[in-house]
Chain A
Amino acid sequence: MRSIGAARALVIHRRKLPSGPDAGFEDVQPEELNVQPKVRLRGARLFGRSARPSDPAPSRLSYRYQRWMLTPGIRLGVRLGLPMVVLAGTLGMYFAAEDRREAVSAYVSDLRRSIQERPEFMVNLMAIDGAGTGLAQDIREVVPLDFPLSSWDLDVEQIRDLIAGLDPVKSATVRIRPGGILQVDVVERQPIIVWRTRNGIELLDETGAHVDTIAARSDHADLPLIAGAGADAHVGEALEILKTSRSLGERVRGLVRIGERRWDLVLDRGQRIMLPVDRPVRALERVLAVNEVQDLLERDVAVVDMRLGQRPTIRMTKAASEDWWNTKVTVGNGQ
């Protein structure tokens, strides 16, 4: 007989034994078998959560609220927007007071300082490689750093630009080496030519850049000499000409830039080879060829004018031309 109605009896709840095809009764531990039945009074749940009517309908308000909360935009707003607004509001209220702002910024800068001044980040000395003593002195003057210094405060780029801005420095690399050393590697400019101007005597490198100022030409007697305004802008051309004129040996005194457009090669005994604006080396080669054959420059010639390529001209010295006149007169009256 099956019971339908509610019996007012104590209901015995027993822990469920494992059952089904996989359950083996030998697996069951004996203490699990003699569980004490739990006794509960029926109707206790009248006071519990399920004491509400059996088929509760949501109130209109809760229904609307739930639908509202299921709307995607609203859900996003509640899940992301609301926390962000609360966070922003809290932060804003906290930082509204001046002294709190200052305290926080002081704390942050303190923290920053303490990290930056750790010994791992400190730079203790500057090492300069590839520079002579005078240049190294100059570099140390230009970059006045008082070590020790945190590497966070060093602007390596700026130091490099500063050093590279020095005249005798061709290029420079600056880096912070492990061990707290500021390593400066410098390539010096090599003086290759002497430039005499009205203001003094300068040393130039192969690009025409200023290297140094010297007191006397004789300090660098081994270097060739150039002169004239604007000569430093054409050092390359001057070097070419001088290379070509090597066969003249000791006779070459120097090059003079004339009118900032062409060169004069000056030899000893006041001789001068005036070179054209275009292809001066070629013109010089022609002169040297004539010299080879006819010993042109050994004669009493003051100027070899090569400015017009079609019409090379020679100016003789005064004595030579007088001589020549005399010869001509003799010949003329010789009849």
Chain B
Amino acid sequence: MITLSNVSKIYKSKLKNSAQIKAVDNIELQVAQGEIFGIIGYSGAGKSTLIRMLNGLETPSAGTISVAGREISKIKGAELRKARQEISMIFQHFNLLWSRTVRENISFPLEIAGVSKLERQNRVDELIKLVGLEGREDAYPSQLSGGQKQRVGIARALANNPKVLLCDEATSALDPQTTDSILDLLQDINTRLGLTIVLITHEMHVIRKICHRVAVMENGKVVEMGNVLDVFKRPQAQITKRFVQQVTEPEETKETIEHLLENYPNGKVIQLSFVGDSAEQPLITQLIRTFNLEVNILQGKISQTQSGSYGTLFIHLDGSEAEMDKALEYIKASHVGVEVIENA
């Protein structure tokens, strides 16, 4: 559905002799039909520029971009405008027209597409139902909450039956609960309409919750890409590890562990990572039954991703060295990640 090859975007600095800024650096990626593809990175990583190149709001300095069968990086004028009706976008700050009601805002892209008044009315009614805004049709954006505004944004984006939906930090201005309800809505739209979704974010939570695949961006480059679960399981780049920690480890984990190491001078503190099916086997029970060890559960968390669950568990083992080593071997053999936490 979307193919980027060797895409770069270079901003020339006005100052003489100063270095050019490579916002996007030689990116190569494909997004399949019906996929929810997430791009994560900190601000300034180039993800905003990248997503804007997908609907021609920015043009690449090099490389080609094709979306829904059109070469976006080449077309101009009327053809580009036509293409944009198939590649909708929602925004962090919603970007609704304050002078129009909910109904009129949703109707706007239909007016642009030249849809007749009667058809517009019917379509708007459908969309209002789809995003759950019944009863708020005649409100102005200033009378809506953030979550409701984003629902209008989504309804507006879906009006012309697009093939691709681009989400530019669509949940970054919302509180956690509203974020989840908007993500549920996006996922629902994805499964019901088979819409391809590309989203950019700086929150791993968003990736974890709805994305099938993820690309991690840093300094204009994609440093890591793959299925969300794989990336969670085996983050390679340093930045990816930090993002994964955002969801798997609560903020205070580091302090907690140091505290634990002080409290348990004997034995070992071990971090187990479970992925997919392995999260569902009774590992701890087997450990206790098979080995002559004391097992103490210290802290744990399970996160649900689109392709399975991912969990971390901190346990404390106590017993003879030999028995503990055997236990570690056993855990490794059952496809569970093991990391012995040493004193820092």
| Same complex | no
